[in-house]
Amino acid sequence: MAPPNNQKRLKGIQIFRPFVFGSTAKLFDPTENPKPPGTPEDHTHSWTVFVKGVDDTDITYWCRKVQFKLHDSIPNPLRTIENIQPGTAFQVHETGWGEFEITIKLYYIPESLEKPQSFYHHLRLHPYGVNDAEREAMRLAPTINAHCYEEQIFNEPYEQFYELLTSPIARGKGKNAGTKTMKGGMVSSTGERTALIPLASRPDQPFSRETEKLEIKRLREAKGKIEGMNIRAQEELKAKEEELAKLREESKRLLG
């Protein structure tokens, strides 16, 4: 079936838009995080699952709504969030006591002519998967953050959708009128769409070029350690093989 207005896909074009998804959780505390009235007695945490732009930039010009499939034990487990303010998050707030997998489905704007895409997030209420020092720091932290950086890739997008992705946002009269704009993806603090991520991180915004450089450094250090372990293992194997060859020669001598 042909797309509306006989739109064509732009062959050989690939465009991406970064976003962040994940959850934050806080242990109930009478002083810092008291239970709301009516909260079940066995619920131990308040938590939020979300999809948003990197550095809280706008993604509503390509993402129309987000559907969250929660655990079946939660009332109204299928939550659809739409019509949010640009620059805010698609999010669901809840309380509970257990961890589970949440299905997240992104619905794109009608002009995209793309089908919804699903992915998964494990709701995390407790610190784990890190070393003892980091786990203790997380245990003492006011919130447990499980944030993931992702890039939505559009392969050979339709013409109209591509124009929406790459055109600067409309500007009216005011202090920003006439400001130079640039092509890209997110809406920055100056009102421009850009696919770039911030240069530096903040406590509540962990994804940046700085984070990327630190991760590359960590991976290189890990690669160096693995290469060192591999060299030592090869040396040990060579020594064992030489020892085995000597034992075989000695055995032949004694038996021969």
In a shared domain, residues 147 and 226? no
Asked whether 166 and 184 are in contact (CB, 8 A), the reply is yes
Confidence of residue 92 (pLDDT cuts 50, 70, 90): very high
pLDDT over threshold 80, residue 256: no
Picking from 155, 185, 216, the residue at the C-terminal end of a domain is 155
Give the three-class secondary structure for 34: coil
Residue 83 lies in a domain: yes
Q: By residue range, what is the domain housing residue 255?
A: 208-256
For the CA atoms of 161, 165, 168, 173, the dihedral, rounded to the nearest 10 degrees, stands at: 70
Residue 164 lies in a domain: no
In a shared domain, residues 151 and 212? no
In a shared domain, residues 30 and 146? yes
In a shared domain, residues 147 and 229? no
Q: How many structural domains are present in the chain? A: 2
In a shared domain, residues 217 and 134? no
In a shared domain, residues 120 and 23? yes
In a shared domain, residues 241 and 129? no
> What is the tens place of the pLDDT at every residue in 169-181?
654 444 444 333 3
Residue 120 backbone dihedrals phi, psi, to 5 degrees: -130, 150
With CA atoms as reference, report the closest residue to 193 among 209, 170, 174: 170
In a shared domain, residues 128 and 212? no
Give Cβ neighbours of residue 91 (< 8 Å, ≥ 6 apart).
48, 49, 50, 51, 52, 81
In a shared domain, residues 42 and 113? yes
In a shared domain, residues 105 and 26? yes
> What is the tens place of the pLDDT at every residue in 215-237?
788 888 888 889 889 999 999 99
53 or 137, greater pLDDT: 53
The DSSP result for 207-254, as a single string, is: -SHHHHHHHHHHHHHHHHHHHHHHHHHHHHHHHHHHHHHHHHHHHHHH
> What is the tens place of the pLDDT at every residue in 37-67?
999 999 999 999 999 998 888 999 999 999 9
In the predicted model, what is the mean pLDDT of residues 105-133? 89
